[in-house]
Amino acid sequence: MRGHWLAAVLGVAISSTTAWARPQQECLNASLVAHDGTPVGTEEVVDGVTFYISKPTGDTVKGAVLYLTDVFGIQLLQNRLLADSFARAGYLTVAPDMFNGTPARVDIDLPTLEASQFLEAHDVNGTDAIVDKAVAYLRATEAGAKKIAATGYCFGGRYAFRVAAAGRKGADVAFAAHPSMLEDDEISAVGGPASVAAAETDPMMPPERRSEIEALLLKTGQPYQLSLYSGTSHGFGVRVNVSDPVQKFGKESAFLQAVRWFNKIRNSSQLLNLNQHDYLRALQEHEN
């Protein structure tokens, strides 16, 4: 069962393909998203890796979010503020420094020598090892991260899928905004529900690649969602011109897409081990 919907708000069209079409019930709004200000999280060094950690302020912790940044790392203000936003939504949020204090100076959406050198210095094996340390930290917290939601942006979007691979014992659910360099086998290997937010203009994920990703997600048998935001470009999940209402709306909507996805899975976590058909039928029964 798949649902398709199209909405136009503030001049932004959002096209979404999702594995269920029932309306979302959570009371969430864009006020959760901090676009500027002072980050409220803290840094902690664990096993040689620096983590940016943001904690919910209330007594109830919904779960844990593993925040995997774009190439500008945890040093970028917008990444810290977005991690804080997930904490405001009720999730203990941990963002590892995937670049050991040396984030990129330029984005990787255009082929440049500097971008190529950066990617060579931060390969899959080294990055996976850092991500695994963040997972181990979350599993060991007092909050007890029984379920981990991975959210990744650009460079980190690929690793949100990788850490959610079947059998890896990493994340239980994945969200990726404008993922870069995401390979077919990494999509096919995902072991839990997966959600993607795509930009209208993205050299790392052009229209034909979006179609391929959707087809691969369908074949996994896992619940999935792919939403396309018009008026946006690569990086919109984190870095936008907030004076432009179209860009601002796109960023906020992608954030709410992730939180609603995580909340949906959290509220029906006992259903995670079912196949797609049984999952959807059980989810309907759960919500009725």
DSSP 3-state of 138: helix
Question: Residues of 212-226 as b/e, b for ≥16 C-beta within 10 angstroms?
Answer: ebbebbeebebbbbb
Task: Note if 202 is an active site residue.
Answer: yes
Asked if 92 and 121 count as a contact pair (C-beta separation under 8 A), the reply is no
Task: Note if 27 is an active site residue.
Answer: no
Cα angle value 228/226/72 (rounded, 5°): 75
Out of 84, 97, 109, 202, pick the active-site residue.
202
State the burial class of residue 68 (Cβ atoms within 10 Å of its Cβ: 0-12, 13-18, 19+): buried
Dig out the tokens for 38 from the structure. Answer: 């002072």
Asked if 56 and 88 count as a contact pair (C-beta separation under 8 A), the reply is yes
For the chain, state the CA radius of gyration.
Answer: 17
- Strand pairing class (63-68; 12-18): unpaired
Out of 97, 154, 172, 178, pick the active-site residue.
154
Out of 109, 172, 178, 234, pick the active-site residue.
234
* Rounded alpha-carbon distances, angstroms, from residue 220 to 19, 129, 187, 228, 265: 12, 25, 8, 20, 17
Rounded distance, CA 89 to CA 56, Å?
7
Q: Which of 204, 219, 221 is nearest to 274 (CA)?
A: 221
Dig out the tokens for 188 from the structure. Answer: 């096919």
Task: Note if 234 is an active site residue.
Answer: yes
Q: Which sequence positions are flagged as catalytic? A: 154, 202, 234
